[in-house]
Amino acid sequence: MKKLLVVDDDFSMRSVLQETMSKYGYEVQVAKDGKSALKSLKSNKVELVITDLRMPGMNGLELMECVKNDYAEIGFLIITAYGTVETAVDALHKGAFDFITKPFSMSQIKSRVERFFDFKDLREENKQLKQNLSYEKKFNKLIGISKQMQDVFHQIEVVSTSDVPVFIEGESGTGKELIAQAIHDNSERSNQPFLKINCSTIPEALFESTLFGHEKGSFTNAIKDHKGLFEEADKGTLLLDEINEMPISLQAKLLRVLQEGTITRIGSSKEIHVSVRIIATTNKHIKKLVEEENFRSDLYFRLNVFPITISPLRSRTDDIPVLVDHFLEKFKNKYKYEKKEIHKEVIDAFTLFNWHGNIRQLENVIERAILYSGSKPVLKLNYFSLESDNLKNTNSGFNDNVTSLAEMERILIYSTLKKTNNNRSKAADLMGISVRTLRNKLHQYEDEGTAIVD
């Protein structure tokens, strides 16, 4: 609820304003003079002060100047019966949002208050947009407006200025590699190599040679000297993807490199100094692996200097619309379609799913739908299909024959309503959608004749 403070030495005026603005849905505090207002602001956070200009002791402009010194973000609406153009201009120059002269109607006050909050919201929106554009420019393909992603962007900014190891944890498909790339691109090593290796794809027998290199003749088929990834990435960054798959026998050697900054090729006793920034990722609960002694605790603590955890897509549904727009544009250009858009009901349906494959799965689903849709400009629910085990509510009565996204959505909605005894608010909350969206869906099913009736 938006909060106001009314300051006026006239009891009847402040009482009328408090009663009227409260009816309009605002939380209203009152003060009889400037001194009382300052005291109130110390214990009550408000967004807008409506104050009389002429008051005993401290006038409205003096109050505003005093408040702005400590709370620059608080807005001021000045009221006076002695208004002149000069007074109005002076008030606005000193920071007032607006100025109104007595006599005035309550609708005029309401209009000005609404205009202040509209302006405030727009300013915040523009600020956020500028921040997002800044992040997009800095972090290339990383996309997200959710609080979780904004936190990740901030962490990237912080850690990019250093050389400390970074440990990124998150489910498959959440964008861990993109985060690693962004850290490298925004670091002082950005003009140096950025190499990556998936630890789950290398045979154990070749692991040490791949990382540290080997000398000619050190083993069968070692027909020439070979630089390992640490030498190739010298002065740059090395991404060890799915580091949890690294053999336990090799983890001690990696720890030594991190501690001493030197490597030794297989078949050689010569130490080679390397300067490599390590970024490691995992899609497993690494602490559990440490507890089970499947990952060395000393290596974990050495790598985990700066941890970054990226949330799964199902817990940051605010990002779904912007990701959809991004992939839609990508595949529209790829397949040479002039116009492609996704119906709003698809976005609503997407919030009902777990997205086990996260962003990668969302990308694949959109590309497939674009191919199915052909020349049709609008992608509706019938162009999408998802596995039934993707639903957030797994007790929904689905069987393997149900593959249509629209059908799964419809069955999920009615199943959740049944579970909550037709409590729409509770059902909407469980599914992560608004009551309005739920109501619109139910009307749609009734109009189509597809409503499920027990």
Of 362, 379, 242, 364, whose CA–CA distance to 314 is shortest?
Answer: 362
* Residue range(s) of every CATH 3.40.50.2300 domain in the chain: 3-122
The SS3 call for residue 32 is coil
Residues 366-377 have pLDDT tens digits of 998 888 888 888
8 Å CB contact between 319 and 313? yes
Q: 307 preceded by cis ω (within 30°)?
A: no
pTM of the complete model: 0.60
| Overall average pLDDT of the 202-227 stretch | 82
What residues contact 66, with CB distance under 8 A and at least 6 apart? 34, 38, 58
The SS3 call for residue 404 is strand
pLDDT at 175: 92
Radius of gyration of the chain (CA): 30
CATH topology (fold) of 3-122: Rossmann fold (3.40.50)
For residue 146, pLDDT over 80 is answered with yes
pLDDT at 397: 46
The fraction of the chain above a pLDDT of 90, given in percent, is 39
Residues 152-164 have pLDDT tens digits of 999 999 999 999 9
Beta bridge partners of 277: 237
Per-residue pLDDT band for 305 (boundaries 50, 70, 90) equals very high
Residues 24-68 have pLDDT tens digits of 889 999 999 999 999 999 888 899 999 998 888 899 989 999 998
Choose which CATH entry (3.40.50.2300, 3.40.50.150, 3.40.50.300, 1.25.50.20) describes domain 162-311: 3.40.50.300
Beta bridge partners of 280: 167, 240
Of 225, 236, 232, whose CA–CA distance to 265 is shortest?
Answer: 225
Q: Which CATH architecture has domain 315-448?
A: Orthogonal Bundle (1.10)
For residue 444, pLDDT over 80 is answered with yes
For residue 225 the two structure tokens come to 């000297």
- Region class of 50: left (phi > 0), else alpha (psi between -120 and 50), else beta: beta
The total number of residues shown for the chain amounts to 454
For residue 420, pLDDT over 80 is answered with yes
* Residue range(s) of every CATH 1.10.8.60 domain in the chain: 315-448
**Comparing 94 with 165, which gets the higher pLDDT?**
165
| Overall average pLDDT of the 265-292 stretch | 92
The fraction of the chain above a pLDDT of 70, given in percent, is 89
Per-residue pLDDT band for 136 (boundaries 50, 70, 90) equals low
Q: How far apart are CA 317 and CA 295, in angstroms?
A: 33
Q: Dihedral through CA 308, CA 313, CA 319, CA 322, nearest 10?
A: 110
Q: How far apart are CA 352 and CA 320, in angstroms?
A: 11
For residue 297, pLDDT over 60 is answered with yes
Q: How far apart are CA 341 and CA 361, in angstroms?
A: 19
Residues 386-406 have pLDDT tens digits of 654 455 543 444 444 444 566
What residues contact 336, with CB distance under 8 A and at least 6 apart? none
Residues 309-366 have pLDDT tens digits of 999 998 998 899 989 999 999 998 888 888 888 888 888 888 878 888 899 999 998 9
Alpha helices in 227-305 (DSSP H): 229-232, 248-260, 286-291, 297-303
DSSP 434: -
Mean pLDDT of the chain: 85
